[in-house]
Amino acid sequence: MTKSNKTVARIKSEYMNKYDAEMERSRLRKKRLIQRLIFAGVVIVVTFSLLASYHFKQRSLYSEKQKEYEDLTEQISILEREEKELLDEINLLNDVDYILDIARTNYFLSKEGELIFQVQEEEERSY
């Protein structure tokens, strides 16, 4: 026996034409559905990536700002202590007795009838 051709001839009828058209529409509909799903998936992935990137940038910016805030808070506390010390010094400088005491200590000024002796410090003395 010889090999027979196993192809079946298509019947050309109106029913087969409608069936072929319906199958073609179904195939195109499925293809468009797959394309829309792929497009939606790409949009979702890109959107998620952008949001994640934005989130991590904001976290790093927040941590930088938090560190800057802590540094400035520490600087403010230092400046407030310095301000308190300077205000205390201003109050002392408004006191006449304090000014006279500084003048006597630093500039060797004396009251009437008072003698001032300068004494060397322990480490400056040579025996």
Identify the pLDDT of residue 118.
73
Identify the pLDDT of residue 126.
57
The per-residue b/e assignment along 90-125, b for 16 or more CB within 10 angstroms, e otherwise, is: eeeeeeeeeeeeeeeeeeeeeeeeeeeeeeeeeeee
Low-confidence ranges of the chain (pLDDT < 70): 1-5, 124-127
Stated as kind and residue range, the H or E segment containing 88 is helix 14-93
Identify the pLDDT of residue 71.
97
Identify the pLDDT of residue 27.
96
Identify the pLDDT of residue 88.
94
Identify the pLDDT of residue 127.
54
Identify the pLDDT of residue 3.
60
